[in-house]
Amino acid sequence: MVLMVIDHASMAFDGRHLDDDSAMYPGAATMALPGGEFFTRWITHICAPTFVFLAGVALALSSERRVAKGANAWDIDKNILTRGAIIALLDPTIISLGSGRLNFGVLFAIGVAMMCMALLRRLPTWSLLVLGLGWIVLGELPTDWAWDPPGSASPPAALLVATYGSDALAIKYPLIPWLSMMVLGWVLGRHMLQFNAGKARVSPQAVLWIAGAIALSVFVAVRASQGYGDMFLPRTDGSWQQWLHVSKYPPSLTYASLELGLLFLSLALLMAIEPYIGVRPNGVFLVFGQTAMFFYIAHRLLFEVPATYFGLRGAGDLTTTYVVAFAMLALLYPACRWYRTFKAAHPTSFLRYF
């Protein structure tokens, strides 16, 4: 979430912001990648996969616990569908108003993917693994049928597998690739419950260490081959920037394997150290995590409205990005603490969806 704020500050105020992480943009493979600007963009690549994957984990934990307690199946589905619909609608409404164009972004992808899980949750674990891993590995093939870069795909194709961008409409988070990551998150959440119930012998932490190592190995092998798996954004030289300049829109095999690999290893490491460092009730990261949707909407609007409507888009530089980002984080911490308290005092209100 902290890295996301840095990226959104750059997107709003940095005149040299880099976000051409897609073959949709002509010359994306050969564009200049200044070290500081590129690194600032690259460290935020892990954000969207983390949000989508952990949304799947959290959804599995809450839903399957209710199943184990004998909750009505329709009640579970209704909760998933309602929550997903509300999240999805935030992009074409509130976020679009702030950015000045119709936007189907990461919230739309997360929300619709959650709605899909109301049906997919009934599948056995092996089927979910086949669906999730299958698209990540093979998804470039059907994407090639629907999209001929450079340039945008059609909006319907972009909603499902590719990307579309114009002054009036942006669709950068197609459903199916991001749903595949949520499906994998659901698998981990289910495994966590089974391990805690004594039905699985391999710990979730061990699973994450192994999966992370495999994913990063896949990234190195595929990126080195300079062929299939790059989603039409090949590595053009041996610089570190070109190795890491992978396609986010839509996510390539190299992007997914790199970011999920880093995510898996990070989660495993955090699981290992948490018993030693503990959890502080008012810790910055915990407070932000417990108010994630409020955090997201607040900072997006506070960045996008002045950038869009007050002529500040691209008015600064890399230094501006970090100054504005950390100023925003300082403002958000007390605001998020207040919202957490207010939300806890109204547990049955509409706020429970935020």
Neighbours of 342 (CB within 10 A): 13
pLDDT tens per residue, range 94-113: 999 999 999 999 999 999 99
pTM exceeds 0.85:
yes
Strands (E) located in the chain: 102-104, 164-165, 169-171
Rg of the chain over CA atoms, in angstroms?
20
3-state secondary structure of 349: coil
> What is the structure's pLDDT at 64?
92
Residue 321 pairs in a beta bridge with none
Does position 353 have pLDDT exceeding 80, yes or no?
A: no
Q: State the average pLDDT over residues 18-47.
A: 95
pLDDT > 70: percent of the chain: 100
> What is the structure's pLDDT at 348?
84
- Of 89, 91, 84, the C-alpha closest to 106 is 91
pLDDT tens per residue, range 293-349: 999 999 999 999 999 999 999 999 999 999 999 999 999 999 999 999 999 998 888
